[in-house]
Amino acid sequence: RGFATNPALLLADEPVSSLDVSVQASILQLMEELQKTHEGTMLFISHDLAVVGYLADRIAVLYAGQLMELADAADLFEPPYHPYTEALLSAIPLIDPDAKHRELRLTGDVPSQINVPTGCPFHPRCPRYLGDICRDVVPPWQETPQGARIFCHIPPADLIAQQGRLIATEAVS
């Protein structure tokens, strides 16, 4: 129904989040077909990066209302990642039962939107917290070798050294 009037922008907020996997697949295929046949933009909002990676050309990762990472869909699934993106990607189940899987669990609470933390908004939960600089100074935007942009104090080269590949590329195709 959303495409019936040929909108310039279609907002899809968690359109498949509580559906059976087979129904999800059908809806995602339909959305992909409609996306190809209609001129326009789809803003697809989801917590499931595997689903987003299936449909998106570009992905924006937000935390507490702040843009943390912006990347072409294929590039988002390769290190370096913003530490929040790293945590989201590590939560995607792996298909290969023999594959090593390291889930990065976040601790602490999501910050209040009324009392937003100083510095990096992710610092209270960040597993790669550097101390005072993260707490007190707003991070710079940095470009990764793939052309993604991350909002973090840690240089992309250091993130690459710390992070391994978290999911198989096949999960994105």
Q: Is the pLDDT of residue 78 over 60?
A: yes
Q: According to the model, what pLDDT value does residue 99 have?
A: 65
As a whole number of angstroms, the distance between CA 140 and CA 154 comes to 9
56 near 140, Cβ under 8 Å?
Answer: no
**103-130 mean pLDDT:** 89
Q: Which two tokens stand for residue 94?
A: 């792996």
Higher pLDDT, 65 or 68: 68
Most confident range (mean pLDDT) of 14-18, 43-47, 130-134 is: 130-134
DSSP 122: T
As a whole number of angstroms, the distance between CA 74 and CA 102 comes to 21
Question: Tokens 């101390």 identify what position?
Answer: 131
126 near 83, Cβ under 8 Å?
Answer: yes
Q: What is the pTM of this model?
A: 0.81
Of the pLDDT bands very low, low, confident and very high (cuts 50, 70, 90), residue 2 is low
Q: Is the pLDDT of residue 110 over 70?
A: yes
Q: Is the pLDDT of residue 113 over 90?
A: no
**114-126 mean pLDDT:** 92
